[in-house]
Amino acid sequence: MAAVEPAYEEFRKQRLEENRRRMQELNLAALSQTLKKSCPKPSPSKYCKPKTPRIDMGLVEVRRSSRVAAMPAASYKEVKYEYMEMPRRIYKRRALLDRSHISDGARTKAIERAEVLQSNLEPIYPSFVKPMLHSHVKVGFWLGLPVGFCKSNLPKNDAIITLEDEDCNEFQTNFLAQKTGLSAGWRGFAIDHELNDGDAVVFQLVKPLKFKVMIWLSASVIALVDLFKALHSSQPKVIVVAY
């Protein structure tokens, strides 16, 4: 066994010597140095900023400006507000009788009397007769005027109309040109003058922007009005309506 080891060592040394000699013949050492010098130096590894752990936003107060932070926190709860009704104008009305139901005969008689009155007016001033309906004086309070009359004699744009009665009481109402009628304000005028379904009204345009209005009550009411001495039996009630 001791003789085998020196033989192995001798053989190994011979191989190492042969390899060294071959490397010198091939000039591998110089070539290795040349390749080492020509190879670029590896770039240093870039520094990566470590990821900061994500913070639970539920535990951190949200950043806000000092102006916003001073304001009270918004509340998204449903808040019930008490409805405040706007005060409305109260009209005094003398309830002489309930004229809710007017016969066709009484309605026709009032229209005929109004037409007779219209025929006696000066023809140079345009006029028309307007029978009062339930929607004019009870509900809605919208007074539609004749379309042809409005297009021929009234302004093309909306206007504020002032209604002035025989006692110089003024009522302002809106004239809507596109709808050819009287809107806001007409309710107060109708209630104050006790207009009712079945009455007939004559509108006479005495000036470009001024009406004279004559009211005829329905025939079934005239006798009762005379009884209460509210109107003269032979004269219509005359009211001036001005823009």
Assigned domain for 173 exists: yes
Assigned domain for 111 exists: yes
Amino acid 63: pLDDT: 63
Taking the CA atoms of 57, 63, 68 and 72 in sequence, report the sign of the dihedral they define.
positive
Q: Residue 26 — very low, low, confident or very high, per pLDDT cuts 50/70/90?
A: confident
- Name which residue leads in pLDDT, 104 or 79: 104
pLDDT at residue 242 is higher than 80: no
Q: Residue 213 — very low, low, confident or very high, per pLDDT cuts 50/70/90?
A: confident
Assigned domain for 97 exists: no
- Name which residue leads in pLDDT, 61 or 144: 144
Q: Residue 85 — very low, low, confident or very high, per pLDDT cuts 50/70/90?
A: low
Per the listing, tokens 């207009």 go with 195
Taking the CA atoms of 194, 195, 201 and 203 in sequence, report the sign of the dihedral they define.
positive
How does the average pLDDT of the chain come out, rounded?
73
Assigned domain for 223 exists: yes
Q: Looking at residue 191, which CATH number applies to its domain? A: 2.40.330.10
Position 98: which residue type?
Answer: D
Position 216: which residue type?
Answer: W
Amino acid 160: pLDDT: 79
pLDDT digits (tens, 9 = 90+) for 44-67: 666 677 777 776 655 556 666 667
pLDDT at residue 6 is higher than 60: yes
Q: Residue 239 — very low, low, confident or very high, per pLDDT cuts 50/70/90?
A: very low
Assigned domain for 162 exists: yes
Number of domains in the chain: 1
Q: Which residues contact 219 (CB under 8 A, 6 or more apart)?
A: 105, 106, 109, 110, 113
Q: Which domain holds residue 178?
A: 104-242
How close are the terminal C-alpha atoms of the chain, in Å? 142
Q: Which of 131, 123, 147 is nearest to 201 (CA)?
A: 131
Assigned domain for 113 exists: yes
Taking the model in full, what pTM does it have? 0.50
Mean pLDDT of 15-36: 77
- Name which residue leads in pLDDT, 79 or 84: 79
Q: Which residues contact 53 (CB under 8 A, 6 or more apart)?
A: none
Mean pLDDT of 137-155: 87
Q: Residue 21 — very low, low, confident or very high, per pLDDT cuts 50/70/90?
A: confident
Amino acid 95: pLDDT: 45
